[in-house]
Amino acid sequence: MAALVAASALIAACAGAPPRRAETPAAAAKAPSAADGAAVADRVAANGAASLMRNWASSHGDYFRRTWGVDVGGVRLVADDWMLEFKFQVVDPGKAKPLLDVNARPFLVDERSGAVLAVPALENVGELRQHTSPKPGRTYFMIFGNAAKIVARGNPVSIVIGKFDAAGLPAQ
């Protein structure tokens, strides 16, 4: 009997509940706002940059795996576009060692403007990059400053670390 009373109360509560927003005709007919349009544009730009990176990896990936022992993960804008993060995964530690050498100076070159960006060094933290013995399967990163927001999403960039030169990487 108690179960019947509880079920009746549940049915009564659901019957008085307002309809879900997606079911109302007004919600379905609502015109998209400018914020909705901006969000869609951001997703399209991000998908376009990801597609460019996939194309770059399919045409250049084997070279960097064989020559430098790394899978290049790409360059992406972070920190509200004030910085760029370069990621790579080590496949062959012996070949990848020069990328993590403490004496090597990495640079990011924006191919549109020609601007050369460096890895910032903070007083208490040091350089925003890793320099250690590479381990297979591990992903490493470097952060480059983009103080004037010179590099925009989709711009082709080059990562230069000594003789290593990954040109044409799309900034995501």
Distance CA 70, CA 100 (A): 12
Given this model, what pLDDT does residue 140 score? 95
Place of tokens 């530690």: 93
**Residue 23 is assigned to a structural domain of this protein:** no
Helix (H) or strand (E) holding 140: strand 139-145
The pLDDT tens digits for 12-70 are: 444 444 444 444 444 445 555 555 555 544 554 555 667 776 776 666 778 889 999 99
**Residue 21 is assigned to a structural domain of this protein:** no
Residues 67 and 95 sit within 8 Å (Cβ to Cβ): yes
Given this model, what pLDDT does residue 59 score? 64
This prediction has a pTM of: 0.69
Taking residues 94-101, what's their average pLDDT? 94
**Residue 121 is assigned to a structural domain of this protein:** yes
**Residue 114 is assigned to a structural domain of this protein:** yes
| Per-residue pLDDT band at 84 (split at 50, 70, 90) | very high
Taking residues 83-104, what's their average pLDDT? 95
Whether residue 160 has pLDDT greater than 80 = yes
**Residue 39 is assigned to a structural domain of this protein:** no
- Name which residue leads in pLDDT, 161 or 53: 161
**Residue 36 is assigned to a structural domain of this protein:** no
CATH code for the domain in which residue 154 is found = 2.60.40
Q: Would you call 166 exposed, middle or buried from its count of C-beta atoms within 10 A (0-12, 13-18, 19+)?
A: buried
| Domain with 113 in it | 70-172
**Residue 145 is assigned to a structural domain of this protein:** yes
**Residue 56 is assigned to a structural domain of this protein:** no
| Other residues' Cβ atoms within 10 Å of the Cβ of residue 125 | 8
Q: How many domains does the chain have?
A: 1
Residues 111 and 155 sit within 8 Å (Cβ to Cβ): yes
Distance CA 98, CA 159 (A): 13
Rg (CA), the chain: 25
Place of tokens 């230069």: 160
